[in-house]
Amino acid sequence: MYKIHSNQSDEFPITLSSSDYDSLSKEKVETLKFNTLNLYGVWVPDSTIYIDNRQSDGIPGVHVISAFTLKDSDYFIWVNRGWARKAPGEISNYKEFVKGTLYLPTKMPTALISGRIETDLMQRIELSNNEDIMKNGFLWQNLTWDRLNTFAEETTSLSSKTALPFILWRNNIPSDSGLKKAEIQLKADEKFKHLGYAVQWVFFGLLSIGLAIMIRRKNINVKKSN
């Protein structure tokens, strides 16, 4: 069983069994977006991909993506394991990123990961249609489902498995991994929606304070009149 813990404290956790994944469509996943998912499984170190030109606090780097096969299942999931520093262009350890030898996950019999469900691949504008430029070995400019599916078909440990239709952005990042939690960048409409919620709650808070003051003054006036 895989348990999804809602980010909203007033909701019960959503529980899915491994058989539920057979009918887990992209439309259904949208209803689970932003929830936190705990999974048991095994890392696939040689599936590690680096998404270039991703910043953290203004510092250039990459997002590190690895496949995670689910325990007692024929499914796997792509996990954004975090952010790592990388100088732009072909400076520094560029070749190691292309070869896929950096920041590999530790393979163990069973691992527990926790992360946030995200269906948006956070793609940036591509300035070329040349796949050799956009996907140089294990160093990619963007994630696309076509690229991920082709990559999985060419990876022996993944070729017979099915990928779940979302990315898990990992929360429980080991301190010795060399990685930093990658922050999800919300789209403009999502930022506006969250801002709207914040303004709404501030308004209700001020309204409650105003009503409390009015009631207090009314009680004081009633006492004075008596």
11-23: pLDDT as tens digits: 555 556 677 777 7
Tell me which of 201 and 40 has the higher pLDDT.
40
pLDDT for the residue numbered 204: 56
pLDDT for the residue numbered 183: 83
Domain that holds residue 207: 186-226
Query: ∠ CA(177), CA(180), CA(182), 5° rounding?
Result: 130
Weakest-pLDDT range from 87-91, 105-109, 217-221:
217-221
Weakest-pLDDT range from 21-30, 80-89, 111-120:
21-30
CA–CA gap between residue 172 and residue 156 (Å, rounded): 27
Weakest-pLDDT range from 103-107, 108-112, 155-159, 210-214:
210-214
**What confidence category does residue 99 fall into, taking pLDDT thresholds of 50, 70 and 90?**
very high
**What confidence category does residue 29 fall into, taking pLDDT thresholds of 50, 70 and 90?**
confident
**Which of 52-61, 83-92, 114-123, 182-191 ranks highest by mean pLDDT?**
52-61
Same domain, 92 and 115: yes
Same domain, 180 and 193: no
Same domain, 54 and 163: yes
**How many folded domains does the chain comprise?**
2
Element (H, E) at 15: strand 14-16
Same domain, 201 and 121: no
Tell me which of 171 and 10 has the higher pLDDT.
171
Percentage of the residues of the chain whose pLDDT score is greater than 90: 42
CA–CA gap between residue 178 and residue 48 (Å, rounded): 14
Residue positions counted in the chain: 226
> Which ranges constitute the DSSP H helices of 65-126?
94-99
Same domain, 38 and 74: yes
